[in-house]
Structure 1
Amino acid sequence: MENTENYLECERNRVYYTLIAIAGFFGAYTFLLRGKVFCNAQTGNLVLLGLAIGQAEWETAAYYLFPISAYMAGAFISELLPNPVKYHLKIRWDTLLIAVEMATVLVLGLVPESAPVQISQVAVNFIASMQYNTFRQAEGTPMATTFATNHIRQVGVGLAKEIQHFRKKDKKHREKWGKHCMMVVYFLLGVVFGTVACNIYSGKAIWITLLPFLIVLIDFLNEDLHAEEEKMRQKPHGH
């Protein structure tokens, strides 16, 4: 088994499982209540932008530039802020980001159903991008906490390795395979729970994600201010 003592709290598997479950919830929220789109990634928006340009629908093309730009801005900001934050505050950027996401969720729950869906879409695009760019490896394994495409691919890869190593003693692939399987399961659970919650509570359902966010925030604050205070300058793996 791999020695996990050198990993920061923000790299723990449990944190990634929690964040991808929240991402699944966000997927249900934006699709059911905010324009039938998925805001956790931008491949779809880029395809729609290309279609609009190809059909000379310039207003439509301009529309898709907003979520793409919001996603790009999230990556830009989350790349610049980590060092200034850890040198000027007593907490890490990862901790501050969770607080920012909670504040965004709190505001989104106040947005009325009659408001333009673009408000919620752009906000989710922005925080999803920052989260994706910030949380990169779970205890040494590259991970995405906002969408499941790569995890599904890795489940297939792991299954192939299971067959290849069927008669061999080397089963090291199973730990990584298991992580990706869990990421897919937690994402799906987030979607299911989000669907039920949105059907019951409508737009305010997003406030439910404040609870898992709060658990992560308290955990991070405790580590930053106590257990990991001497590791404040240590970068998470993958950065």
Structure 2
Amino acid sequence: MINREIIKNKITTQKQISDSLFLNLLLAFSGGFQDAYTYIVRDKVFANAQTGNIVLMSTHLMAGHWMRGFKYLFPLLSFVIGVFIADVVQHKFKNAKTLHWRQGIVLVEIAIMILVGFLPQGFNTLACCLISFACAMQLSSFKKVHQNPYASTMCIGNMRSGTAAFSAYLRSKDRKDLNKTLDYVVVIFVFACGAGIGGNLSKLFGEMTILTSAVLLFIGFLMMDLDRKS
């Protein structure tokens, strides 16, 4: 019989697997992978970087390119809806016993990635909307690494927090501040690796490349199962 507690203790000292560095590195890699995939395979729309989508949308709209501009609007709206749905799920199912609410979120993400993998080029806007929705749910559901706030689907907040932690370390010489800095550096590096690998694989395998993300998320789902009592 598998002793979940022993395996969990080898992975992290955190109370919940969802706060562990290992799981969140997996999610960060997947987040970077998804962003590169939608940009390269799905009409140069970002799955996670909504600031970039706003810039591109505004540029096209101001130039009178209405159709080009609106293709960025729908993923933006999908992202907002994803944040809202994740918040509702957390508050409605936070005490669920059968399945942790975060695992439910990840299952939905997996289903979305599989669906998107089989959508042809004519459905690029739908594909981008679905992935933006999934990314937003992930961003809203996994907010901490070692009890420190972080984002698994974008870098700017992690860059700010990591730099602030390093500045604090230079003042205090507190090892905790240095460890916090290193956590953010590793997360950003892994996100970048996910984007680089995802981008190159997308050029080779096209639409179905996103199934890699589904596999990564399934591994994350299994890891969270370690929180259940044996």
Fold match, TM over 0.5? yes
CA 1:32/1:56 → structure 2, altered by over 3 Å: closer, same or farther? closer
Offset of 1:64 from its aligned partner? 3.6
Q: Which residue of 2 aligns with 1:235?
A: none
8 Å Cα contact 1:9/1:220 also seen in 2: yes
In structure 1, distance between residues paired with 2:165 and 2:36: 28
The alignment status of 1:180 with 2:222, answered yes or no, reads no
1:7 partner letter: K
Runs (5+) with no aligned partner, structure 1: 228-239
* Identity across matched positions, percent: 23
Q: Does 1:14 align with 2:22?
A: yes
What residue is the counterpart of 2:6 in the other structure? Answer: none
- Pairing of 1:18-33 with structure 2 (within 5 A): 18-33=26-41
* Deviations 1:90-118, CA, capped at 9 Å, x for gaps: 11110011111111111111112x32320
Please report the RMSD computed on the Cα atoms of aligned residues, expressed in angstroms: 2.4
Whether the aligned pair in 1 keeps the contact of 2:35 and 2:47 (CA below 8 Å) is yes
User: Which residue does 1:125 correspond to in 2?
Assistant: 132
State the AA in 1 paired with 2:117: G
C-alpha contact 1:7 1:139 (8 A) present in aligned 2: no
Amino acid at match of 1:130: M
Q: Give the Cα separation in 2 of the matches to 1:169 and 1:116.
A: 53
Quick check: which one's helix share is greater? 2
Instruction: Determine if the alignment matches structure 1 residue 214 to structure 2 residue 218.
Output: yes
The residue type paired with residue 145 of structure 1 is S
Counterpart of 1:144 in 2: which secondary structure?
A: coil
Contact 1:94 1:134 in 2 (8 A): yes
Quote the residue 2:143 is aligned against: 136
What is the CA distance between 1:213 and its match in structure 2?
A: 1.4
- Contact conserved, 2:53 with 2:76, CA < 8 A, in 1? yes
Gaps of 5+ in 2: 1-11
Mapping of residues 98-109 of structure 1, within 5 Å: 98-109=106-117
Q: 2:44 maps to what in 1?
A: 36
Residues in 2 aligned to 1:192 and 1:169: alpha-carbon distance in whole angstroms: 34
The question of whether the paired residues in 2 share the 8 Å contact of 1:86 and 1:93 is answered with yes
Change beyond 3 A, Cα 1:159–1:81: closer
Please give the alpha-carbon distance, in whole angstroms, between the structure 1 residues aligned to 2:30 and 2:65. Answer: 34
Alignment deviations for residues 46-68 of structure 1 (CA, whole Å, 9 cap, x no partner) = 33444456566665555443112
Deviation, 1:172, is 2.7
CA distance in 1 between counterparts of 2:165 and 2:94 reads: 37
Residues matched between the structures, number: 219
Q: Which moved more, 1:189-198 or 1:100-109?
A: 189-198
**How far apart are the structure 2 equivalents of 1:200 and 1:56?**
34
Shift of 1:143: 0.4
Question: TM-score, structure 2 length as denominator?
Answer: 0.84
